[in-house]
Amino acid sequence: MTLLKIQEYPGLKRDKNSNGIVNTNRTQYEEYKMIKYRIKARETQADEIRYTIKEINTLKSELREIKSLLKEIVK
């Protein structure tokens, strides 16, 4: 793999064979991975919150139905 320097971007190099860009700056790469991890964690947390809200709404609906049935029994 032959890497060519990219002007104005010291941490990036171009692979001569595939014409792809490679980040050779390890610190930037680690920061990128950490940011991706945090984004994924937030998405997971948001999914859990949405699921919990859905469960709460289902329980509310079921309680309304039970309450309605109890009122009919009492009549």
Helix (H, G, I), strand (E, B) or coil at 24: coil
Q: Alpha carbon 33 to chain centroid distance?
A: 13
pLDDT of 18 over the 90 cut: yes
Q: Give the Å distances, CA to CA, from 27 to 2, 5, 33.
A: 22, 18, 10
Token pair listed for 57: 């709404």
pLDDT digits (tens, 9 = 90+) for 31-59: 999 999 999 999 999 999 999 999 999 99
Q: What is the pLDDT of residue 1?
A: 78
pLDDT of 62 over the 90 cut: yes
Q: What is the pLDDT of residue 25?
A: 92
Exposed e or buried b per residue across 10-48, where buried means at least 16 C-beta atoms within 10 angstroms of its C-beta: eebbbeeeeeeeeeeeeeeeeeeeeeeeeeeeeeeeeee
